[in-house]
Amino acid sequence: MKLDEFFVTGEPLIYGAQVSIVLTMIGVVFVLTKYHKWTWLWKEWLTTVDHKKLGVMYILSAVLMLFRAGVDAMLMRAQLTFPESGFLDSQHYNEIFTTHGTIMIIFMAMPFLIGLMNIVVPLQIGARDMAFPFLNSVSFWTFFMGAMLFNVSFVIGGSPSAGWTSYVPLANNDFSPGPGQNFYLLGIQVAGIGTLLTGINFLVTILRMRAPGMTLMRMPMFTWSTAITCILIIFAFPVLTVALAMMTMDRIFGSHFFTLMNDGMPMLWANLFWIWGHPEVYIVILPAFGIFSEIISTFSRKNLFGYKAMVYSMVVIALLSFIVWVHHFFTMGADASVNSFFSVTTMAISIPTGVKIFNWLFTMYKGRIKINTAMLWALAFIPNFVIGGVTGVMLSMAAADYQYHNTYFLVSHFHYVLISGTVFSCFAGLYYWYPKMFGHKLNEKIGKVSFWLFVIGFNVCFFPMYFLGFAGMPRRVHTYTEESGFFELNFVASIGGALMALGFIVLVYNIYYSVRYSERITTGDPWDGRTLEWATPAPVPFYNFAKTPEVQGLDPYWDMKKQGKAELDLDKEELEPIHMPDYSSVPIIMSTFLFISGFGLVFEWMWMAILGAVGTIITMIIRSFDPDEGYHVEVEEIKETERKVRGEEA
């Protein structure tokens, strides 16, 4: 392979990105070397098994991926702003279109939510850490290496271009030659290992490690949404893994699962993909529902209205999510009876979702509502998500879907659902739990500026797309003619996209500004919260709780404050030594070997693939002989740590 075939060349945008990547790497190495932080980075972060630090790394990775996919989105809008634009050719547009969708769903939305889960869920249930801390680290590093394997295609080998759904035969070797599609297959497979392990780990943690007195029906709503999401992950992700493995064998080893010849079944891929894909939609929406439930309850100063109905509605949503997948291809040849069945199930899933909308509204009814940035994101979610939901019901009618399906109407629908549901919740959760992570709040004034820029831009960008769909503009096209009449609304949409980008930039600036100038909080409960994560100091000690709390009701910390038991008296309480897990370098090393193996398969360099696989197996064997006995935090150290984080004199 020649050098110009290995590296992506010929595009000024690519050259600029390559230079920026190299300069960024040089800058990181320079800073770490100048301030002697290599040992600190390795011991405190790269080898950590602390759920809070892993959660922060998930969120940092997700913000980075949001930037990457956001740039892709802006490039697409730049191409579509004017008719017959030559800013991007069709191949480059298809690559950006593919990477934007894949990164936003797999490498941005999921890790952002999993990061919040990591930070919050063990605290909400009164646990010291996850059930399997080592496995939690493996989960993060396999996700991260999968994300890097996918993103390296930007500068090495070339990006995939068959769309984020990668329908065959377009994704087969005949129509997508080269390594690009292999990056898609191997990157998601490696990252999917981490997601599946995360689902197992969180479900076991929630079922087995709750504080005394915390029954299932006393769990916070975010913990409930996490538990149900994990069940979806456990049942859905193996389907994706198998489907990706089958396409990998088609492309690299010459099998015929999805080919047009030798009895292959191209429609099998569509079915397998969406059997995973629609539960995946709820994997990134249900945690959002939990986040909004926590925020609305806290800032309405009320118990969550209809707690049991909220739980049961999420269970119903989870069950129905597995029997609606055919609505993604009503137009692909199923008979009327099949389409009718899946049309009814799709409409039915709107009912439990509607229940939740009314429960949030009734929670706010007659509440003493406090408006801040986190609450603004929660309030903005409701009307915008309803718009996305109502248009989803329109699309659920199979006959009408024939008109809407391949137009910009559908593009607008799923962005209204996923951005107002998932992205708004990520930002809301970041503002809400940020003080718990870092010991200071994000600036409210800058936060509100970011909120209004993003929300206004979001509606300006995507609402016109409904009318572009009605006008007949097809999706998945890189240009349109002047005579089509699509220019005006595309121009408006691009202005909205620019406002969203500006809102994100202001959010990132807010983080920088707040780190430098925000006042450090002196309490672990800056919002007057209701659940157990607010019972810990900020920043949270590595062992979470000096003494495991006892739960007596639905909002345990709220009850503790009313009873005057919120503060732990270190002189009167009988503390016990706390057992904590050891840090380990095995997860990052093993995941690096997985990256090497995946990279070798991408280019069909079997020697590299085998080398990486052998390295992975060796690290597993080494781990199996590691006693991993952990260590105990003695009582005196606990008291010293508690006094330090509470700002008390030792």
Question: Above 60 in pLDDT, residue 650?
Answer: no
**Distance between CA atoms of residues 374 and 273, nearest Å:** 34
Residue 309 lies in a domain: no
Sequence-ordered list of residues with C-beta below 8 angstroms from that of 239, at least 6 positions apart, any chain: 272, 275, 276
pLDDT confidence band for 1 (50 / 70 / 90): low
**Which 3 state secondary structure label does DSSP give 520?**
strand
Which two three-digit tokens encode residue 437? 């992570």
Dump pLDDT digits (tens) for 458-477. Answer: 999 999 999 999 999 999 99
Which pLDDT score, from 0 to 100, does residue 594 have? 97
Q: How confident is the model at residue 262 (pLDDT cuts 50, 70, 90)?
A: confident
CA distances from 362 to 293, 296, 358, 425 (A): 12, 10, 6, 19
* Angle, CA 60 vertex, CA 587 and CA 72 arms, to 5°: 110
Of the pLDDT bands very low, low, confident and very high (cuts 50, 70, 90), residue 16 is: confident
Single residue among 284, 299, 333 that ends a domain in this structure: 284
Task: With CA atoms as reference, report the closest residue to 96 among 185, 160, 18.
Answer: 160
CB atoms within 10 A of CB 203: 19
Question: Over pLDDT 90: what percentage of the chain?
Answer: 88
Structure tokens at 116: 């919040």
| Assigned token pair, 106 | 């797999």
Which of 221, 253, 284 is the endpoint of a domain?
A: 284
Q: What is the pLDDT of residues 494-516, one digit of tens each?
A: 999 999 999 999 999 999 999 99
* Average pLDDT rounded to a whole number, residues 355-363: 96
Specify whether the CB–CB gap between 559 and 553 falls below 8 A: yes
The SS3 assignment for 440 reads strand
In this predicted model, what pLDDT tens digit does every residue of 84-102 receive, in sequence order?
A: 998 999 999 999 999 999 9
Angle between helices 373-396 and 444-470 (to 10 degrees): 10
Q: Provide the terminal-to-terminal Cα distance of the chain, rounded to the nearest Å.
A: 65
- Considering only 60-74, 237-251, 511-525, which range has the smallest mean pLDDT? 511-525
Compute CA distances 639 → 533, 570, 573, 582, whole Å.
19, 7, 10, 21
Is residue 325 assigned to a domain? no
Amino acid (1-letter code) at residue 411: V
Sign of CA dihedral 254, 251, 477, 405: positive
Taking 70 as the threshold, does the pLDDT of residue 604 lie above it? yes
Is the pLDDT assigned to residue 10 strictly greater than 80? Answer: no
- Segment 150-175 shows an average pLDDT of 93
**Tens digit of each residue's pLDDT (9 = 90 or more) over 212-238:** 999 999 999 999 999 999 999 999 999
d(CA 160, CA 188): 12
Q: How many residues comprise the chain?
A: 650
Residue 279 has pLDDT above 90, yes or no: yes
**Beta bridge pairs of residue 580:** 631
What Rg do the C-alpha atoms of the chain give, in angstroms?
Answer: 25
Would you give the DSSP letter of residue 10? S
Reported as a pLDDT band with limits 50, 70 and 90, residue 13 is confident
Q: 302 pLDDT exceeds 60?
A: yes
User: ∠ at Cα 310 (309, 314), nearest 5°?
Assistant: 110
Burial 420-442 (b: 16+ CB within 10 A, else e): bbbbbbbbbbbbbbbbbbbbbbb
Strand 631-633 and strand 578-580: the pairing is antiparallel
Answer whether residue 613 is part of any domain: no
- Identify the pLDDT of residue 539: 86
Domain count, the chain: 2
- Whether 514 contacts 442, CB under 8 Å: yes
Average pLDDT, the chain: 94
Residue 441 has pLDDT above 90, yes or no: yes
| Least confident residue range of 289-303, 355-369, 422-436, 557-571 | 557-571
pTM of the model: 0.96
The residue among 12 and 582 whose pLDDT is bigger is 582
The whole domain housing 185 covers 37-284
- pLDDT range class, residue 583, cuts 50, 70, 90: very high
For the segment 510-537, the average pLDDT, to the nearest whole number, is: 93
175 within some domain? yes
pLDDT of residue 523: 85
CA distance 131 to 268: 37
CA–CA dist 201, 490 (Å, integer): 45
Q: Which of 251, 269, 284 is the endpoint of a domain? A: 284
The distance between the two most distant Cα atoms of the chain, rounded to a whole number of Å, is: 80
Q: Answer yes or no: are the C-beta atoms of 589 and 563 closer than 8 Å.
A: no
The mean per-residue pLDDT over the stretch 407-411 comes to 97
CATH of the domain at 184: 1.20.210.10
Token pair 């809301």: residue: 428
Sign, CA dihedral 347-352-358-361, equals: negative
Q: For the residues 485-492, what does the mean pLDDT come to?
A: 97
478 — phi, psi (to 5°)?
Answer: -100, -5
The confidence band for 569, taking pLDDT boundaries of 50, 70 and 90, is: confident
649 pLDDT band, cuts 50/70/90, is: low
Q: Is residue 631 part of a domain?
A: no
Q: What is the mean pLDDT of residues 307-320?
A: 96
Given pLDDT bands bounded at 50, 70 and 90, which one contains residue 104? Answer: very high
